[in-house]
Structure 1
Amino acid sequence: MEPYYILSSGTIRRNENTILVEKEDGAKKVIPIENVDALHVFGQVTMNKEFLVFLAKAGKPMHVYNYYGFYSGSFLPKDGNTSGELLVRQVEHYLNPEKRLFLAFSFVEGAIFHACRNLREYPGTEPFIAEIEKELDKARSARTIADLMGCEGRAKEAYYQAFQCFLREDFPFEKREKHPPSNPVNALLSFGNSLLYATILSECYRTSLNPTISYLHEPRERRFSLCLDIAEIFKPLIVDSLIFRLINTGILCPEDFARDFEGCYLNDQGRKKFLQAFEEKLKTTIKHRRLKRKVSYRTILRLECYKLIRHFLGDELYVPFKAWW
């Protein structure tokens, strides 16, 4: 199974035991439902209740993105892997300040490890790495989530400032701006993070984790905040490193972006380039030291969910994923 990205506008409907995508120009594409891991809808499409029931029965999540390519929401079939015991343990770890702080720091530690790993590949980033590691030392002694997030915020600021040392000159970047993204690099970060967030949500759905109970980010209405926690570890490893490669090798160029009063965002051509590279990244395999076999980045995301489950159930202390290659 693999994810399918619907970029064109048109209609999506059930056709016997397949998904039929009919574009506005009349072109049709048939997708066997058993081949689908998740649907990612970017185009302006219409669908009916019958199609949603079809997805639900097959257990296939669907993620929807707005006009600018940023995550808007998800359709998740009825939970098939619910566990009352795990839900109680997740809530317990949130309500216990010590247990919550342990997990929150673990997510920050994994994020900072991969941020420094990225920067070490480029000359001239040593002062920024030193500043980031200083914030990690402060985070170790943080006593509240607010203090911890303060350390993380300052570490991220130093990390983003380092981008100017190695990104191409026609991709200037001074600071992170999200609402709206002000330049191509910010647009890529927002777009890539949205994709990663939705991908992690798909993996959480296939486990017994409740994605609304989080530890670093506050649980809020209308968002799956545990996915934000897990994404902190993998944004530098998967999204940022991909962005650096696409920019510095010339695969993405300024012509792949558009601007309006809402800011800067990828155009259709740029979006296709990024989605193809993102999917290739998730399919890339590495030799897992513990499992002694090759696993993909997508599998690593699911394994991280299972590590959290084992931690909640008291089977194994959680240690954030850290790339060893």
Structure 2
Amino acid sequence: MGKTKYIFTSGKLSRKDFSLCYRDVDNNINYFPIEEVREIYILNEVSINTKLLDFLGRYSIFIHFFNYYGNYSGTFCPKEEYLSGRLLVQQLEKYKIDRIRIAKSIVKGIALNIIEVLYHYHRHNKPVKEYIDNIRKIVFNELDKVEQIKRILYIEGFVWKEFYSALRIVLPEDFYLKERVKRPPDNPINALISFGNTMLYTKTVSAIYQTHLNPTISYLHEPAERRFSLALDISEVFKPIIVFRTILDLVNNNRISKINHFDKNMNYAVLNEEGKKIFIAEFENRLNKVIEHKRLKRKVTYQTLLKYDCYKLIKDIMEGVEFIPYNDKNKE
């Protein structure tokens, strides 16, 4: 299995024999053997051609494109190798008859992982117990009673709102979260959240494409045009333990700062190149962190767990084994 390659500078990416050749604007050249590459993230203006795309497609390598501001532009997906008409039919059928149950399971998974993140700060005497209790109350007392997707989405929104409120207690003043603003982010903390969420979304898109699932048929989020809504379903559960732990670690340990790592000309609402590099390095470290999985009885990374949740969903769709998303407290 290759590694993720990140390109931060402007330049040209092309094929050279059985390697990738990257030439930056200063004419510096780097070669990457194709077998060492799993996926590519382009975070600046880079020229490519169809010869390169054909080459990457043959090796099932994705390219995720971002603009300078850290906004996600799109993904080049290789030709699907894991098509399954039988699973597609069953995935649609499950959406029609069992969407509510699966959506509830996803929201419960989100809540449990948020609680696990907040409990760390509760144990360190931060006054976040009220928010933990509020999340527990609505999820364990109200969620099972609702039977409409709008009400489930309302509960999901409430859970995230309580989490954001708790973050105001555990983050320093420069990263105070007054409210969640997405398009575009309006301050450093919103910039970090948006960038991290998009990074996780693209990782999840790649994971789904390595299974037989159709990425456009989702259960919590509405299936929609121009996005892989199932990637939103799967990634949502992992946001607290991957994206937000990355942010909290970087900010609270002064490894990323408002003055040094954000673009002053953009009202500090855009990570600069150094800031992106720091964030991505920690994000990759967390994705590749190894845990002992209780059910699998072996060591796995969080990157693997993303795909494993996809397979658990397939088991639900095809065999009726209830889909229960990954729980970081129980490590299963």
Once the two structures are superposed, the pairs formed by residues 149-164 of structure 1 within 5 Å of their partners are 149-164=153-168
Matching of residue 284 in structure 1 with residue 314 in structure 2: no
2:130 alignment counterpart? 127
Give me the whole-angstrom Cα distance separating, in 2, the residues matched to 1:104 and 1:278: 27
**What is the deviation of 1:109?**
0.6
Residue 245 of structure 2 is aligned to residue 241 of structure 1? yes
1:295 aligns with 2:300: yes
Query: C-alpha deviations, 1:2-50, integer Å up to 9, x for none?
Result: 1111111100000001110110001111111111111111120001110
Preserved CA contact (<8 Å) 2:188 2:268? no
**Alignment coverage as a number of residue pairs:** 323
Q: In the alignment, which of 179, 182, 185 is matched to residue 183 of structure 2?
A: 179
Using structure 2 for the length normalisation, give the TM-score: 0.95
Give me the whole-angstrom Cα distance separating, in 2, the residues matched to 1:15 and 1:272.
Answer: 26
On the 8 A contact 2:235/2:306 being kept in 1, the answer is: no
Counterpart AA for 2:128: T
1:147–1:315 Cα change, 3 Å: closer
Within 5 Å, which residues of 2 pair with 1:40-51? 40-51=41-52
Determine whether 1:319 maps to 2:324.
yes
1:181, 1:43 → 2: CA distance? 19
Gaps of 5+ in 2: none
Alpha-carbon distance, 1:59 to partner: 1.1
Note the alpha carbon deviations across 1:35-89, whole angstroms, 9 max, x for none.
1111111120001110111111111111111221122211111110111111001
1:288 to partner: Cα distance:
1.1
Residue 210 (structure 1) aligns with = 214
Quote the residue 1:54 is aligned against.
Answer: 55
How far residue 169 of structure 1 moved from its aligned partner, in angstroms, is: 2.3
- Percent identity between matched residues is 39
Secondary structure of residue in 2 paired with 1:4: strand
* TM-score normalised by the chain length of structure 1: 0.97
Q: Following the alignment from structure 1 to structure 2, what is the Cα–Cα distance between the partners of residues 170 and 60?
A: 38
* In 2: Cα distance, 1:252 partner to 1:106 partner: 35
More displaced, 311-320 or 42-51?
311-320
- Which amino acid in structure 1 is aligned with residue 222 of structure 2? E
- Unaligned 5+ segments in structure 1 are none
Deviations 1:199-240 (A, max 9, x none): 011111111111110011111111000000011100001101
The residue number in structure 2 matching 1:8 is 9
1:59-208 alignment runs, 5 A limit: 59-96=60-97, 99-122=98-121, 123-136=126-139, 137-208=141-212
> For the Cα contact (< 8 Å) 1:135–1:152, is it kept in 2?
no
The alignment partner of 2:82 has SS state of coil
SS at match of 2:270: strand
State whether residues 262 and 268 of structure 2, in contact with CA within 8 Å, keep that contact through their aligned partners in structure 1: no
> Which digits, 9 at most, give the CA deviation of each residue in 1:94-121, with x for residues without a partner?
122xx00111111111101111111111
Which secondary structure does the structure 2 equivalent of 1:120 belong to? helix
The one-letter code matched in structure 1 to 2:326 is: F
* Matched letter for residue 99 of structure 2: R
Which ranges of 4 or more aligned residues in structure 1 deviate by more than 3 Å?
A: 259-263
CA contact (8 A) 1:181 1:263 kept: no
Residue 20 of structure 2: aligned partner = 19
Aligned partner letter, 1:210: N
276-285 or 135-144, larger mean C-alpha shift: 135-144
Residues 285-309 of structure 1, C-alpha deviations (whole Å, 9 max, x = no match)? 0011122211111011111111111
Letter in 2 for 1:297: Y
Which AA in structure 1 matches 2:242?
I
